[in-house]
């Protein structure tokens, strides 16, 4: 019996492009849904990705969720349908679009198995998740119900914590690059997470599609070496960089206090971090060998946390751009900044301080950093700043004295956390460090 033909929907996305690569690598005739020009717009990255798929041997199939007939025709070409539409609210949340796809699969009548867009925590086991993050799992359960009521064969793939979102920032909410100076520890830092490389998720997913052992089941990806607490993840990073990080403990109450300043998508993400790092939803997860991917497919060499973190070792020097202002050569100080739009961001800049005043950062309209943060100006004074200052949420207050720089607090040689300021003013500050 030959290998199944596979259609991947959402193939140019974060998980989708990995699924296409894995499907081709495992010898499957692979089809990728290509949306019409009116939907792709001027997204050059997607176009280039589609071209690269074609060069690798994939078939591009014109179809759209807005054209039901095209979905049915695309589905009729294959044996297996895998959907990888985004379920991440901070990017785009399209989980319920799959209801149209389920109808198309039912009408086509030829699909041997459907793998819906899941890939995170098992929706079935997240019924007590915190709001509004629970909406992610509720939507996935709606899709599951439709699949099962339609009598469509399925496999649900639960990969728990997708590595880039969790390991990149050492399990700190809102961070995607690991720090070299300090780290926020959520709660006591001892509750376990399960971290899986995105390429491994794709490899295991494709392994399941022709395997009768995985039919009409949820398959969990729980690499045993990657079941770690946040503190254990931090320790592995410290070993890699040869340095111990200063650790700041963030209580559950202070973590949740930042929620009201976030938009809906960010609140969803915060809720997921709360469930894993403060409530330990994955700590008690018990999975039998017959349902766990690394046991079912021992030939796959999965990526360990150490191996995953190694790739960041040469990147972290890039997260501290230097800015200087003309005619001033005073002290060097580090800024640790957050805004309501993106709390607990990594260290963003090392600046040369200037005398009393208000100066714009270089660049028209301010300097943009990762994840949407823009700093237009930097405020500083030779007297401590007060919380009466009316500041935009994208700006920072710095207090400069003869030998120290601090944020609304007597300066200390230790990094400090000031959650109260988050509640008193438009902007929020994560820490402070003395000038050297």
Which residues carry out catalysis?
Answer: 140
Token pair belonging to 407: 């944020």
User: In terms of Cα–Cα distance, which of 397, 237, 394 is closest to 307?
Assistant: 237
User: In terms of Cα–Cα distance, which of 400, 2, 435 is closest to 209?
Assistant: 2
Rg, the chain, Cα only: 24
Can you spell out the DSSP letters for 19-38? HHHHHHHTT--EEEEE--HH
| Cα separation, 148 vs 145, whole angstroms | 5
- Residue 288 class from Cβ within 10 Å (0-12 exposed, 13-18 middle, 19+ buried)? exposed
CB 78 within 8 A of CB 111: yes
CB 23 within 8 A of CB 8: yes
- Residue 257 class from Cβ within 10 Å (0-12 exposed, 13-18 middle, 19+ buried)? middle
Answer left, alpha or beta for residue 278, where phi above 0 means left and psi between -120 and 50 means alpha.
alpha
Can you spell out the DSSP letters for 353-387? --SSEEEEPSSTT-EE-GGG-EE-EEEEESS---T
214 Cβ neighbours under 8 A, 6+ residues apart = 155, 208, 296
| Cα separation, 92 vs 352, whole angstroms | 38
CB 276 within 8 A of CB 191: yes
In 26-169, which ranges are continuous DSSP H helix?
37-40, 44-56, 68-75, 98-108, 134-149, 163-166
Rounded (to 5) percent helix, strand, coil in the chain: 35, 20, 45
Helix (H, G, I), strand (E, B) or coil at 267: helix
Token pair belonging to 151: 């009598």
């Amino acid at each position: 019996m030959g290998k199944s033909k596979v259609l991947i929907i959402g193939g140019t996305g974060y998980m989708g492009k990995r699924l296409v690569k894995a499907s081709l690598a495992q010898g499957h005739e692979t089809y990728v849904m290509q949306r019409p020009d009116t939907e792709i717009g001027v997204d050059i990255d997607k176009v280039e990705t589609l071209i690269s798929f074609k060069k690798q041997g994939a078939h591009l199939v014109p179809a759209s969720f807005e054209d039901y007939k095209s979905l049915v025709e695309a589905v009729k070409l294959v044996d297996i349908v895998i959907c990888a539409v985004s379920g991440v609210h901070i990017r785009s949340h399209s989980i319920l679009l799959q209801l149209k796809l389920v109808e198309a699969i039912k009408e086509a009548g030829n699909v041997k198995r459907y793998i819906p867009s899941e890939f995170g925590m098992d929706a079935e086991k997240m019924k007590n998740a915190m709001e509004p993050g629970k909406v992610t799992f509720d939507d996935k359960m709606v899709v599951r119900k439709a699949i099962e009521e339609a009598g469509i064969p399925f496999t649900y793939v639960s990969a728990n914590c997708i590595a880039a979102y969790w390991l990149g920032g050492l399990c700190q909410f809102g961070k995607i690059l690991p720090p070299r100076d300090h780290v926020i520890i959520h709660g006591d830092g001892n509750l376990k997470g399960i971290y899986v490389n995105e390429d491994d998720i794709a490899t295991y997913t494709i392994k399941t599609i022709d395997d009768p052992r995985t039919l009409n089941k949820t398959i969990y990806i729980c690499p045993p070496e990657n079941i770690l607490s946040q503190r254990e993840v931090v320790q592995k990073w410290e070993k890699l960089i040869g340095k111990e990080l200063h650790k700041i403990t963030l209580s559950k109450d202070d973590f949740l206090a930042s929620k009201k300043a976030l938009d809906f998508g960010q609140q969803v993400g915060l809720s997921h971090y709360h469930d894993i790092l403060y409530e330990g939803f994955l700590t008690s997860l018990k999975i039998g060998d017959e349902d766990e991917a690394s046991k079912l497919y021992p030939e796959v060499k999965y990526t360990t946390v150490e191996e995953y973190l190694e790739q960041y070792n040469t990147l972290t020097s890039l997260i501290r751009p230097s800015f200087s202002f003309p005619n001033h050569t005073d002290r060097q100080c580090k800024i640790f900044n957050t805004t309501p739009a993106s709390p607990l961001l990594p260290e963003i800049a090392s600046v040369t301080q200037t005398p009393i005043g208000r100066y714009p950062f270089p660049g028209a309209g301010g300097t943009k950093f990762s994840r949407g943060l823009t700093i237009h100006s930097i405020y500083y004074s030779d007297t401590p700043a007060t919380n009466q200052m009316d500041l935009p949420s994208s700006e920072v207050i710095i207090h400069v004295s003869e030998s120290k720089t601090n944020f609304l607090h007597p300066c200390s040689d230790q990094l400090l956390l000031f959650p109260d300021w988050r509640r008193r003013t438009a902007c929020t500050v994560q820490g402070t460090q003395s000038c050297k």
